[in-house]
Amino acid sequence: MKLSDRQEKIIDLVRVGQPVTSVALADKLGVTRAALRADLAILTMIGTLDARPKVGYVYSDKPKRNLLLDYISDIKVSEIMSKPAVISESTMVYDAIVYLFLNDVGTVFVENNGNLVGAASRKDFLKISIGGTDIHKVPVGIIMTRMPNIICGRADDSAYEIASKIIEHEIDSIPIVETLKVDGDKEQYKIIGKVSKTNITKLFVKMGKSK
C-alpha cells in the first residue's frame, strides 16, 4: 500500500518520539489537528500506529495483518469447497486409482452407506503400487486412512481455519462433513465437499485479483 508523504512522516515522528500526542504531531508538521485526523485514522486502522487514550500514539509493528485476518476469517469453507471424489470401501485399489485419474483429484474419500469411513491419497496409492502387491485384488478399505484418524472440516469453518489444519496436520485435502444422528445417538458423517491446497491457492489468487 502506498502511504502519503505525510503519513510516512507521522510514522517516523511516532517511531522516534513515542508516545506522541496528536497535538504534538500537528505542531511538528505545521498543520491543524483536524487535518491530521484522516491520516491518523488510517494509520491506526492498518495497525501501523496504536492509539493509547490520554497517552498518545505508539508505533506498532504489525501493519495490515488485522485487516487480512478479518478478510480471511470472513470467507467460509462453503464458498471455496469443491466436489469430493467418493468411492466405496470394496473398490479395488486399481479401480480407485483409475477413478482418481478420471476425476483429476489427489485424494479419494471412502463411504459406507453414506457414512464417511476413510480417505486415500496419491501418496497412499503410490506406496502400495510399488510394493509388489496385486492392486487388482486388494480393496481400498485395506490401505486407506480410517476414521477417526481423518481431520474433517465444516461448511461454516473459515478458510483460514481449514488452511491452518492442512498445514498443521500435513494433509493435502480435508473432507467437509455434516453430522447425522442415526439409530438414536450413533453419529455418522456425511461428506458434502472437500478443501485441498488447490482450493486455498485458488482463493489466494482470487484475493489478489484486481478488477
**Chain residues in the site for its own copies (CB under 8 A):** 1-2, 34, 37-42, 45-46, 62, 64-73, 94, 97, 100-101, 106, 122-123, 125-127, 129-130, 135, 160, 163-164, 166-167, 196-198, 200-205, 207-211
* Least gap, CB of 11 to its own copies (angstroms): 15
* Least gap, CB of 81 to its own copies (angstroms): 15
From first CA to last CA, the distance across the chain in angstroms is: 17
Indicate the residue among 190 and 197 with the shorter CB distance to its own copies.
197
Indicate the residue among 60 and 88 with the shorter CB distance to its own copies.
60
* Least gap, CB of 115 to its own copies (angstroms): 27
Are the beta carbons of 148 and 171 closer than 8 angstroms?
no
- DSSP one-letter code for 2: P
Query: Look-up: residue for cell 478478510?
Result: 71
Which residue type is seen at 91?
A: T
Indicate the residue among 159 and 189 with the shorter CB distance to its own copies.
159
Alpha carbon distances (Å) from 21 to 38, 41, 51, 85, 149: 15, 14, 9, 59, 55
Are the beta carbons of 56 and 43 closer than 8 angstroms?
no
Indicate the residue among 122 and 154 with the shorter CB distance to its own copies.
122
